[in-house]
Amino acid sequence: MRSVHVGIGPVTLSDVVAVGRDGAAVELTEEALAGIARARRVIEDLAAAPTPSYGVSTGFGALATRHIPPERRRDLQRSLVRSHAAGSGPEVEREVVRAMMLLRLSTLATGRTGVRPETAQLLADLLTHGITPVVHEYGSLGCSGDLSPLAHCALALLGEGEVRDSAGVLRPAADALAAAGLAPVELAEKEGLALINGTDGMLGMLLLALHDLRMLLRTADVTAAMSVEAQLGTDRVFAEELQALRPHPGQAASAANLRVLLTDSGVVASHRGPDCNRVQDAYSLRCAPQVHGAARDTVEHAAGVAGRELASAIDNPVVLLAADGSGRVESNGNFHGAPVGYVLDFLAIAVADVASMAERRTDRFLDRTRSHGLPPFLADDPGVDSGLMIAQYTQAGIVSELKRLAVPASVDSIPSSAMQEDHVSMGWAAGRKLRRAVDGLTRVLAIEAMAAARAVELRGTLGSTRGVSPSPAAGAVVRLLHEAGVAGPGPDRHLSPEIEACVELVRTGAVLAAAESVVGELG
């Protein structure tokens, strides 16, 4: 099993995917443990001082004016975690919870939070042993950070609440810890707050989405190329010299992919002669690089924000260290989720638009007045058979939902904590809806791939393109679908299992890999 090392520097997107999705183990470096210990000494000095220090010897939020005596401070930390673990609704996905735990551990490893080394180590041990706290859908306002989701994670460190073990079995946290040979911790000053005050949930969802969208947008180029080919579109509009007139990097990359994917297509070549008048294809074909490219550029903008967030040490209050080893604790507002919330919302807009264009390409296959000779609805015996008529309904329903999910969450704010926290980011909500949007895009592209594959096969048996070979890339995708049980043209059959098979092929990257196996890696 791969092991991810967490040090004083930031973890990477690939680390988050490895731990969150693939279950990689986690190890704290010696450098990180030393830094954690240095910051802890600062907290212990402040705890012993007569002057109150926020988060160390006071209450929290609107209760920050109360000084807490030393004998009640462990109660304070325990009460903080218990009370903040107030989520409700369905369980959050394992990969999101694990990503969130890793990101919180990464912040602890910066030596800016004041936790004890043993507390940070237990968090790493939970990840390594596959113990995943139960976190609920609702509870975070994205400010101060993702308090409730992180509190559910912190609760497991106390041996309280429910977790899923490495086999996915729901059990009490105390039992899962004992089975793994781990002992719960009793939180000391500042530790409860340090465990829950960060943007780690929304950031984890952003990073997982970035990983998926980079693959899905290349897959969208594959399905778009198949649609252009099967609808007898022209590849002239993707010429490099035309794309260079508008030098957006994402557009250039997408157009380059389309040129490669359409290379050696007998279908395209069959109508590329001087008498071809197909230079004004519909926008959903002609403008694919412009839309896919804008989405790519949005992804890279969001990746820049995510990179800066990964390099951050988000806590409140935060430990500031001097060169001589002394330090102090300062209150701040770095926990506000606005930077992450904004780009989560931005990505949802891009996802909806890419999916909307893919649905329009699919619809053109089904309309005999626009499909250039294909049978209505790609049916075997139109009238008796309905072909892919209702598959497009499924696409349309998903696209409609994606448009609703594109409404930004980050423009909303509901004051909380007796008006102390009077402006919040709703970044967690933006992350939740982006996850649904990414799933929707996956399904829309899967149905386009199914329709385009069927149309490509029909082109080989119809009219002027009879017997003409498709591009190698399209041929590879058609073969992949057949191997997965997605049959070609023919009488109607139960369609839902074939759609789900296509969804899985898109989700896992298999459609992209099939195309790349014959044309090389796409940009």
| Residue 499 clears pLDDT 90, i.e. is over it | yes
Is residue 241 over pLDDT 80? yes
Q: What are phi and psi of 316, to 5 degrees?
A: -150, 120
Of the listed ranges 89-103, 223-237, 336-350, 417-431, the one predicted with least confidence: 417-431
pLDDT tens-digit map of 430-441: 999 999 999 999
Look at the pTM and tell me if it is higher than 0.85. Answer: yes
Contact by Cβ (8 Å): 344, 431: yes
Nearest one of 214, 129, 205 to 173, comparing CA atoms: 129
Q: Percentage of the chain surpassing pLDDT 70?
A: 98
- The residue behind tokens 């997982």 is 208
Contact 218, 466 (CB under 8 A): no
Give percent of the chain above pLDDT 90. 84
- Tell me which H or E stretch contains 171: strand 170-172
- Give helix 249-261 / helix 510-519 axis angle, nearest 10°: 70
Mean of per-residue pLDDT scores for the chain: 94
Mean of pLDDT values over 3-25 = 97
* pLDDT higher than 80, residue 30: yes
Which pLDDT score is estimated for 276? 64
- With bands split at pLDDT 50, 70 and 90, how would you rate the model's confidence at 272? confident
pLDDT surpassing 90 at residue 70: no
Q: From residue 191, how far is each of 21, 102, 135, 162, 333 by CA, in Å?
A: 27, 17, 20, 21, 18
Question: Which of these is catalytic: 54, 138, 283, 342?
Answer: 54
Q: For the segment 101-113, what is each residue's pLDDT rounded down to a tens digit?
A: 999 999 999 999 9
Give the residue ranges of DSSP H helices in 49-157: 73-84, 94-108, 117-128, 147-157
- Residue 464 confidence (pLDDT): 76
Least confident of 23-37, 72-86, 274-288: 274-288
- Look up residue 52 and give its amino acid: P
| Residue intervals in the chain for CATH 1.20.200.10 | 206-519
Homologous superfamily (CATH) for 206-519: Fumarase/aspartase (Central domain) (1.20.200.10)
Indicate if the pLDDT at residue 145 is higher than 70: yes
Give the CA distances from residue 221 to residues 238, 300, 411, 485, 487, in Å, rounded to whole numbers and listed in that order: 12, 17, 32, 23, 23
The owner of tokens 């290349």 is 218
Residue 54 bears catalytic tag: yes
Q: What is the pLDDT of residue 176?
A: 98
CA-nearest of 157, 133, 131 to 23 is 131
Q: Which regions of the chain carry the CATH code 1.10.275.10?
A: 3-198
Identify the residue with better confidence: 73 or 156: 156
Phi, psi at residue 136, to the nearest 5°?
A: -105, 160
Evaluate if residue 1 carries a pLDDT over 80. Answer: no
Does residue 275 surpass a pLDDT of 80? no
Let me know: does 250 contact 294? Beta carbons within 8 Å: yes
DSSP code for 375: P
pLDDT tens per residue across span 354-399: 999 999 999 999 999 999 899 999 999 999 999 999 999 999 999 9
> Is the per-residue pLDDT at 324 higher than 90?
no
pLDDT of residue 170: 98
CATH superfamily of 3-198: Fumarase/aspartase (N-terminal domain) (1.10.275.10)
Mean pLDDT of the 59-70 span = 76
Give the Cα separation of 436 and 429 in Å (integer). Answer: 11
Question: In the predicted model, what is the mean pLDDT of residues 474-499?
Answer: 97
* pLDDT confidence tier of residue 192, bands split at 50, 70 and 90: very high
